Amino acid sequence: MFGCFSLPSSCGTVPRDFSVSLPRHMEALRGSCLTIPCSFTVRKTYEQDLTSDCRSEWRKTTDSKVAFTRTTTGNLEQKNCTTTVRDITEENQAAPTPTLSPPTVSVAEGQSVRLQCSAPVPCPSLPPTLTWSPVLGQVQVTLQQQEDNTYVQESTLSFTASHILHDKSITCSAEYRREDASVTTASVQTTPSVSYGPRNTNVTVSPSGAVAEHSHMSLSCSSDANPAVQHYHWYKADGGTHTSIGNSSVLHMNASRETTAVFCQAQNELGTHRSSVTSLDVQYPPETPTVSIIPSGPVAENSHIRLICRSDANPSVFHWQRETTAVFCEVKNHLGTERSVVSQLDVQFPAQILSSSNCSGDWAQILCVCEAEGKPFPLVHWTFPAVSPNLSISTRFSCRRLDRRENSASRGCDCVGCVDYTALCPQKSKSGSCSASVCGCGFEPNTTLKLEM
């Protein structure tokens, strides 16, 4: 790019008596400066002639003809002929392209990586600015002097390899500023190959959504891995146990209520990864429901009870039906309807004497009737504290259902107790009044009937 170096005769030398050391090649940027490192040697007998009066010139030649000259700016007394040219107009318009070391990257995930970006520095007073995209870790920038005394700007990027960098470009850009403050940029990039075990394992179901039992469905397993996944495994999830159901990337199966939760596992030489559990919406008609009553057995009236209807169905809609103390549940969906057997509720309530209890008759014979209701069946007790012990008394007891109360049939058997008096009062006291305490039923207080004769 630049021609030979020569010393004028005023220095007392001839070309064969010295040698010049120059870079073999340098790139220059139009509008910027160019510093050419240069040194020379002379025969020892001529070193005394290296004074401040010495001159040197650069000459650019074409076909051995001088085209123009540049004055050397180095200290010739120190054998330094380095020159900075500031009016470059004929060289490259574009910036020099930086280089990457290593030029390609092939690593396993988790390994440390060091990328070095180097750009020539033709003008040390205007070194290039090196930037990375993306910035993945620590960056260290240094200005390095080469063996030929040229300079290189170096930027070292240190990071840990990750799967997200696989096949993603990493770019180093060199920005050169000219002496007129304008900017030009050149860049270089590499695409790392990062090996890693399976990740992002996912299950896709076709058809999606609800499927009828026994219909055909396909399940696909996908996973991101480098190298590619070598083996796929399918499992049915049963609580804490896993049952193998296939060994391919696509699983073909008939929908079953026995397999409603599945997952797949992907494997390559670097590891394994499994998907999350996928729920399958397999729909089927109801089975015959059953009813549970809590608490079981007799329950007091107005107390809380819980009725549970169970049926295997998907989807399921429950309905309850009640007839007095008889209940049943019905389960239905778009595939069918099933009904449970009827369950009887044993609802118990305390005994009480009804207002229909009464006595009738004359002084010779009186009939007293005590009517009561309750569940369990009430026990009726008669007492006669005001009756003369020499009177003859006969009693009889019967039970019949009463319909006086709403839903009385659901409340058990009401009881009717009857007592016959052959004589309630002595004959000589026909106009007198007598009283009898009649009817003590269950847990209710006694009721007293007064009879006027």
Instruction: Give the pLDDT confidence score for residue 158 in this predicted structure.
Output: 96
Residue 187 confidence class, pLDDT cut points 50, 70, 90 = very high
**Average pLDDT value for the chain:** 79
How much is the average pLDDT of 150-172?
Answer: 95
**Residue found by looking up tokens 């006027």 in the block:** 452
The CA-based angle 154-116-187, given to 5 degrees, is: 80
How much is the average pLDDT of 194-218?
Answer: 95
Beta partners for residue 177, in sequence order: 183
Instruction: Give the pLDDT confidence score for residue 181 in this predicted structure.
Output: 84
For residue 338, the tally of other CB atoms under 10 A from its CB is: 17
Instruction: Give the pLDDT confidence score for residue 362 in this predicted structure.
Output: 64
Of the ranges 50-54, 124-128, 388-392, which one carries the lowest mean pLDDT score?
388-392
Residue 253 is encoded by which pair of tokens? 């199966």
Q: Which of 376, 378, 397, 382 is nearest to 444 (CA)?
A: 378
Instruction: Give the pLDDT confidence score for residue 252 in this predicted structure.
Output: 96
Q: Which of 6-10, 27-31, 384-388, 399-403 is predicted most confidently? A: 27-31
Query: Does residue 449 surpass a pLDDT of 80?
Result: no
How much is the average pLDDT of 430-434?
Answer: 34
Cβ contact 306:299 at 8 Å: no
For residue 441, the tally of other CB atoms under 10 A from its CB is: 26
pLDDT tens-digit series, residues 212-232: 999 999 999 999 999 999 999
Query: What are the respective helix, strand and coil percentages of the chain, to the nearest 5?
Result: 5, 50, 45
How much is the average pLDDT of 125-152?
Answer: 92
Instruction: Give the pLDDT confidence score for residue 10 in this predicted structure.
Output: 36
DSSP state of 182: -
For residue 4, the tally of other CB atoms under 10 A from its CB is: 11
Domains annotated on the chain, with CATH: 5-85 (no CATH), 99-191 (2.60.40.10), 196-283 (2.60.40.10), 290-345 (no CATH), 350-451 (2.60.40.10)
Instruction: Give the pLDDT confidence score for residue 62 in this predicted structure.
Output: 61
* Largest Cα–Cα separation, the chain: 185
Backbone torsions φ then ψ of 91, nearest 5 degrees: -100, -160
Residue 452 confidence class, pLDDT cut points 50, 70, 90 = very low
Collapse the DSSP code of 404 into the 3-class scheme (helix H, G, I; strand E, B; otherwise coil) and give the result: coil
Between 392 and 48, where is the model more confident? 48
Instruction: Give the pLDDT confidence score for residue 430 in this predicted structure.
Output: 33
Q: Cβ contacts of residue 14 below 8 Å, gap of 6+?
A: none
Beta partners for residue 160, in sequence order: 112
How much is the average pLDDT of 274-295?
Answer: 95
pLDDT tens-digit series, residues 236-260: 998 778 999 999 999 999 999 999 9
How much is the average pLDDT of 166-184?
Answer: 91
User: What is the share, in percent, of the chain residues with pLDDT greater than 70?
Assistant: 75
Of the ranges 114-123, 168-177, 373-382, 416-425, which one carries the lowest mean pLDDT score?
416-425
Backbone torsions φ then ψ of 314, nearest 5 degrees: -150, 115
Instruction: Give the pLDDT confidence score for residue 331 in this predicted structure.
Output: 95
Collapse the DSSP code of 26 into the 3-class scheme (helix H, G, I; strand E, B; otherwise coil) and give the result: coil
Of the ranges 123-137, 189-203, 210-224, 350-364, which one carries the lowest mean pLDDT score?
350-364
Instruction: Give the pLDDT confidence score for residue 415 in this predicted structure.
Output: 40
d(C-alpha 258, C-alpha 243), whole Å: 12
Residue 5 confidence class, pLDDT cut points 50, 70, 90 = very low
Cβ contact 30:90 at 8 Å: yes
pTM of the model: 0.61
Instruction: Give the pLDDT confidence score for residue 365 in this predicted structure.
Output: 65
Collapse the DSSP code of 312 into the 3-class scheme (helix H, G, I; strand E, B; otherwise coil) and give the result: coil
Instruction: Give the pLDDT confidence score for residue 386 in this predicted structure.
Output: 56
